[in-house]
Structure 1
Amino acid sequence: MKLSRPVSWFLLAFGVWSWFIWITFAKNLWKDGSGLAFDGAGDPTAYFWVHLALAVTSFLLGTAIGVIGFRGARAARRSATETSAETSTTAP
């Protein structure tokens, strides 16, 4: 399957965006002082574990989507370079 250049860039941007958003969320979760993420004794609550699992899953999916986008953009670039090279060698 060949991805178009705009789709590849969108996927790559989504992967980067996902990392940015979820790193910020994980930092805020770790620093939570409202009592949702940690109980009075400082132990993690179910809220913390569920949201940590969401963050880790999003990191993994964001990485996979970003890699697909990166590979697609690289392949589109390589294809454009090869096409222009073929055109210049076959022109009189």
Structure 2
Amino acid sequence: MSRRVALFLLAFGVWSWIIWITFVKNLSASDQSWAPDGSATAFFYVHLVLAIVSFVLGTIIGVIGWRGLKARKKDLAGQRQ
């Protein structure tokens, strides 16, 4: 994997966490997320599942990028010897 691709994947993972943390904060503050009795609505659960899946995928993609950078660094160090 090229350094550029690894950095892109790592940046995507970080970006995904930043965006979805903000989304979940806004979701919890939304009037559509809560019924008048204070219980969570279907809107809340659907969007929470979407956020959780996005957290997982962002983490996986970021880890792939991180491992790509580490492997590339190790390969470059091995070539110098």
TM-score of the pair, normalised by structure 2? 0.94
Matches within 5 A, 1:37-56: 37-56=33-52
Q: Is 1:16 the counterpart of 2:14 in the alignment?
A: yes
Q: Deviations over 1:36-70 (max 9, x none)?
A: 11111111111100000000000000000000000
Shift of 1:77: 0.9
The separation in 1 between residues aligned to 2:26 and 2:52, in whole angstroms, is 14
Decide which structure has the larger Cα Rg and report it. 1
Detail structure 1 runs of 4+ shifted over 6 Å in the superposition.
Answer: none
Matches within 5 A, 1:1-92: 3-32=1-30, 35-85=31-81
Q: How well do the aligned residues superpose, as a CA RMSD in angstroms?
A: 0.8
Q: Which has the higher helix share?
A: 2
The separation in 2 between residues aligned to 1:77 and 1:24, in whole angstroms, is 33
Amino acid at match of 1:21: I
The separation in 2 between residues aligned to 1:40 and 1:6, in whole angstroms, is 50
